[in-house]
Structure 1
Amino acid sequence: MGKLTSPRTIKDLMARYGFHFSKRLGQNFIIDESVLERIIKGAEIGSEDEILEIGPGIGVMTEALCEHAKRVVAIEIDTSLMPILNETVGHFDNLSIINQDVLKVDLPALIEDAFEGRRPKLVANLPYYVTTPIIMTFLEQRIPISDLVVMIQKEVADRILASPSSPDYGALSVVVQYFTEPSIVTRVSKGSFMPAPKVDSTVIRLKVRETPPVALLDEIIFFNTIRDAFGKRRKTLQNALSSGRLGLTKIEAGEALVEAGIPVNTRGEALDIHAFANLANAVARQKGK
């Protein structure tokens, strides 16, 4: 068998196993070996690291992970890929493959069982259609992992990494930056995949914070403040906060903004995470939290 990054090898496997790419599952396999090298380096994967991989496909990245890490547990939703994975990476004794939908798995139980309480690194070439749900599931549910190193659509990465007052800045930016320290590992062109997607990709590393960067009186109010602020981007914060999840009147929203030292005509995209924390804490005090 040739290299798994070779289009010829992939076509041969597909022909022998009757496999067809699924648009529904967003299947795009890496065919650029340098991309794998950059991911391994950017994720700082060493011989003592344990890895949770999502969407191994035919095992292109799985093979590289198994060669560098102590242990790899891969979750693959597509049953038709199981015999291919058995051929391509089944010989690794540090690999376990689970044929399930990651969004339906009891992730805390799986990690406790597979990694015996240790926190693995999540490494994944994520299908574009489930990128945000998967990332937010791990963060909001506080699944015990140390890092998320994920290949995602360039536009989503730009939103995660965006700064205040930039066009890409939004609720996703603030929430992800609350839970993690995000950084770019590498940019990846559409030609690095088979089949080639319509857009370029970015590999980002989200290093899970030990403690949040801001002190909050009520985390739920903080998240709702962010979502209300960006729910109607053209509205000022006073109007946005008085017509959303927080249930504030316009007067209450104005009072919270004044207490937080924010002009009432400010829009959400102007606030950084610390300003959002001050505003959310002002709202929490109003509600007696």
Structure 2
Amino acid sequence: MKHSHSARIVPKKSLGQHFLVDDNISRKIVASLSVVPGDVVVELGPGTGALTRFLMERGSPLKGAAYVIAVELDPEAIHFLSSLGLGDGLKLVKEDMLKLDFNALSKEFRRPLKVVSNLPYNISGPMLARFFDFRHTIDEAILMLQKEVAQRVLSPPGKKTYGVLSVLLNYGYWVEGLFQVPRGAFRPIPKVDSMVIRLRKRESPPKSLVADHAIFKRLVRKAFQKRRKKVRNALFPFNGIDERGAFERCLNEANISPDLRPEDLSVEDFVDLANVLYTHLDRSKGS
């Protein structure tokens, strides 16, 4: 079943807008979100309200959630959503999702957040990276992504699709692919298919805690800039460790063969190496 709300707003290429117009898909996405009474649901980029209308059942948030906070940058969409009269439990926030402070929102409402979004294709990468930064604040997220991006998030080590997002998100969340969405469910029709995934916060990391998150992110990003090189070359020099012998001792301490390629390293391998490098750098500062 298609709805006609999107006809009233012209999608903006600059914002990467492709409006979801299939109500059955909208219902399925919203039904995938685990909501209990009192939850705070954040919808990123609601656009014409394809998901918002189902998050706000009969004028109240889904399943007794305290609020649905719809974060939208497009003033035209904000005006349109406010005209729908969806209920007092809907809070419209004009904000760039790439600048949204999830920690401040969580603190304001004194609870973790649930997130749902049909993410704009043109900012899905940087937005997904932010989920790593806010992994302690976001309990669960149901996200519709370009299929290719979703496959990168879901990818295991050793695959060509395995990369930065695979490592960062699988460190902070249990990641699950839910279902595919055909391009005909959108207006304008995109050139790619989409996929819906679930991120569910890990209560504990895959193996051990990252000692320094900045070093961990820097390590992962550097690794996949030269993904076809061996680890000994892809990651050296790193963060002030510019003596090759010292770097290879760090690899050895983390039980990582210098002849592996970055795409062969598991999330746990990256954690171990980041922690060894952090300890080495910490000792260097103290000496």
Query: Shorter chain as normaliser: what TM range?
Result: 0.7 to 0.9
Q: 2:54 aligns with which of 64, 68, 76?
A: 64
Q: Does 1:158 align with 2:148?
A: no
What is the 5 A alignment of 1:1-289?
5-7=2-4, 9-11=5-7, 14=8, 19-67=9-57, 68-69=62-63, 70=65, 71-88=67-84, 90-113=85-108, 116-142=109-135, 144-215=137-208, 216-245=210-239, 247-288=241-282
8 Å CA contact 1:238–1:265 kept in 2: the answer is: yes
Instruction: Indicate the larger mover: 119-128 or 245-254.
Output: 245-254
* Cα contact 2:56–2:86 (8 A) shared by 1: no
Cα distance, 1:244 vs. partner? 4.4
Q: Distance in 2 between matches of 1:111 and 1:240?
A: 38
Look up the equivalent residue of 1:93 and give its one-letter code: D
Asked whether the equivalents of residues 228 and 245 of structure 1 are also in contact (C-alpha less than 8 Å), the reply is no
TM-superposed deviation, 1:275? 1.9
Moved more, 157-166 or 231-240: 231-240
Unaligned runs of 5+ in 2: none
Give the CA deviation at 1:130: 1.4
Residues of 1 paired with 2:43 and 2:121: CA distance? 16
The CA distance in 2 between the partners of 1:41 and 1:238, in whole Å, is 46
Alpha-carbon spacing, 1:146–1:6, altered in 2? closer, same or farther (3 Å): same
Cα deviation, residue 201, structure 1: 0.8
1:172-210 deviation line (CA, Å, top 9, x unaligned): 111111111111122111111111111111111111222
User: Gapped runs of 5+ residues in structure 1?
Assistant: none
Letter in 2 for 1:23: K
The normalised TM-score by structure 1 is: 0.87
Q: Deviations over 1:103-142 (max 9, x none)?
A: 33444333433xx211120111111111122222243144
The structural deviation recorded for 1:84 is 1.7
Which residue identity does 1:146 align to in structure 2? D
- In the aligned structure 1, how far is the partner of 2:45 from the partner of 2:229? 40
C-alpha distance in 2, partners of 1:143/1:285?
24
CA distance in 2, matches of 1:277, 1:142: 16
Over aligned residues, Cα RMSD in angstroms? 2.1
Letter in 2 for 1:260: A
Task: Classify the secondary structure of the residue corresponding to 2:175.
Answer: strand
The one-letter code sitting in structure 2 at the alignment partner of 1:78 is D
Which residue identity lines up with residue 53 of structure 2 in the other structure?
E
Per the TM alignment, residue 271 of structure 1 is displaced from its structure 2 partner at its CA by: 1.0
Contact 1:39/1:186 (<8 A) preserved = no
Q: How many residues align?
A: 276
Deviates more, 1:239-248 or 1:53-62: 239-248
Q: Structure 1 142/275 Cα, relative in aligned 2: closer, same or farther at 3 Å?
A: closer
Counterpart amino acid of 1:132? G
State whether residues 6 and 21 of structure 2, in contact with CA within 8 Å, keep that contact through their aligned partners in structure 1.
no
Task: State percent identity of aligned pairs.
Answer: 35
Which secondary structure does the structure 2 equivalent of 1:146 belong to? strand
Question: 2:173·2:199 contact (CA, 8 Å) conserved in 1?
Answer: yes
| TM-score between the two structures when normalised by the length of structure 2 | 0.87
